[in-house]
Amino acid sequence: MNIEWKIEKKRGNYRPLLHYTVTLNEFERGLCLPAVRVQSVIPKPPESSWSYCWPGQNERGEWIPSDWYLLMTPSHKDGSSSHTLKLPWRESNAYPEVEESFALLREAFERELFRAVDSAPLNLNGSMEMSSSMRKSVAPAYAAQRILRAVNR
């Protein structure tokens, strides 16, 4: 699995945008892994649909985070997914929780990967024939039927 991300912010009161893509490699896709979801430590800003945050409002005022983003790996069918999240405005432009959250996602994914790899492949074939005791019981009737068919031709 590969996780790539970038954070972009316009000058001014705009909130930064976190763009990320999670891509599974062919081996991981071939294991039919379920999508993994984790709660990140990235706080979802109030009024998260807004692309901006005025001074003194929301996260630029008295704000204690109460909601965090969920991060998710793609399904094995898709193999890749991209998302964009609005981050809370910060004067420092520092977002250490982004890398920490992707590390949590990677750990959860690797647990699922380990379980899938641990499930060994199987190719089992079998066959059975009539038991010898049944053959002995059926043999006289079978022989008689063949003789009668030969005579009736």
| pLDDT tens-place values along the chain, 153 residues long | 999 999 999 999 999 999 999 999 999 999 999 999 999 999 999 999 999 999 999 999 899 999 999 999 999 999 999 999 999 999 999 999 999 999 999 999 999 999 999 998 889 999 999 888 888 888 888 888 888 888 887
pTM of the prediction?
Answer: 0.80
Q: Comparing C-alpha atoms, which of 82, 5, 10 is closest to residue 42?
A: 5
Amino acid at 93: N
Backbone angles phi, psi at 3, to 5 degrees: -120, 125
Torsion angle of C-alpha atoms 82, 43, 72, 108, degrees rounded to 10: 140
Burial class of residue 42 (count of CB atoms within 10 Å of its CB; 0-12, 13-18, 19+): buried
pLDDT at 137: 85
pLDDT at 135: 82
Is the distance from CB of 120 to CB of 55 less than 8 angstroms? no
User: For strand 68-72 and strand 80-86, is the pairing parallel, antiparallel, or unpaired?
Assistant: unpaired
CA distance 106 to 102: 6
Where are the chain's structural domains?
A: 2-118
CA distance 46 to 63: 9
CA distance 8 to 41: 19
> DSSP letter at 25?
-
